[in-house]
Amino acid sequence: MSGTWYEATARERIDGLLDLGSFQEILPPQDRVVSPHLKVLGSPAAFDDGVVVGKGLLDGKAVLVAAQEGAFMGGAVGEVHGAKIVGLMERALAERPEAVLLLLESGGVRLHEANAGLIAVSEVMRAILNLRAAQIPVIVLDGGRFGVFGGMGIAARLCTAVVMSEEGRLGLSGPEVIETTMGVEEFDASDRALVWRTAGGKHRYIIGEASGFVSDDIDEFRAAAIDWLRPADPLDLDAIEAEHVFLKARVERFGTASDARDIWQSAGIEHVEDIPLLEAEAFLKAVDDKRISL
């Protein structure tokens, strides 16, 4: 299946990503496993609680996959939603697939479910780290309209690899949250150019937060995921300490920058004003030898 990742639903992304006809859904909508909290609050529920989980083949290799549905509550994580992702990753410890693929699109915790959502996200993080300890790759694909923020933004950075398109976004606090908390002078959430060059895939790739960058085409996300089907590096103390050194150096080098373009220029990238306009191939050519990466 070809098409654009940004416009696709969770199921359409899975269908385009995996080998044709190989996906087997776990807890599909007909099982009616829904949030126990939303009905009490008078909020609409979804029969899959906004996340699709299952197993299939990617380039002939066994993988487990979870895809968040941004069209339902912005992909926000509640108790059942989180439990489905955690259960999938615990299954991976037993089945040892080639990788676990997380097709993330989430604003973070579902506020309707408060503490239950927070606990769910923390359990997702723990499950990711358990997979990393077992050297099972956990690959994030991020290119949806709602981005990946909040607790799921943290969870994404715990993973083996993050592949983003320009349309994807990744961060802790979303633009609206920053504006509400700090004021529009600090961050104007209505300035789409500012939002995308701060949290978008190009900037995240340049500063080393994303390990892969692709166009919005589903086929390119598939190719990138296949490329990451390889033995994962161990997540040990040496790896963590090396990343801390890298992050400290990055802050020391760019901590006073007021805009992403300042960072790009300081990194030696030429014609930074053109970066937002470049297609994926031209962008990678312009920045690959200037990336700030571990």
pLDDT digits (tens, 9 = 90+) for 121-143: 999 999 999 999 999 999 999 99
Q: Which pLDDT value is given to residue 208?
A: 95
Q: Write out 8-41 in H/E/C secondary structure.
A: CCHHHHHHHHCCCCCCEEECCHHHCCCCCCCCCC
Sign of torsion, CA 149 150 151 157? positive
Copy the structure tokens of residue 271: 């014609």
Q: Which pLDDT value is given to residue 44?
A: 81
**Alpha-carbon span 198 to 200, nearest angstrom:** 6
Q: Which residues of the chain have pLDDT under 50?
A: none
Q: Which pLDDT value is given to residue 163?
A: 98
**R_g over Cα of the chain:** 19
Tens digit of each residue's pLDDT (9 = 90 or more) over 52-66: 999 999 999 999 999
Contact 74, 146 (CB under 8 A): yes
Q: Which pLDDT value is given to residue 293?
A: 86
Token look-up 């699709």 returns 52
**Alpha-carbon span 118 to 177, nearest angstrom:** 17
Copy the structure tokens of residue 243: 């990343």
Q: Which pLDDT value is given to residue 1?
A: 54
| Neighbouring residues of 185: CB distance < 8 A, sequence distance ≥ 6 | none
Q: Which pLDDT value is given to residue 31?
A: 86
Query: How far lies 255's CA from each of 131, 201, 260, in Å?
Result: 32, 20, 11
Q: Where are the domains of the chain?
A: 10-290
The residue type at 277: L
Q: What is the DSSP letter of 272?
A: G
Specify the fold of 10-290.
Answer: 2-enoyl-CoA Hydratase; Chain A, domain 1 (3.90.226)
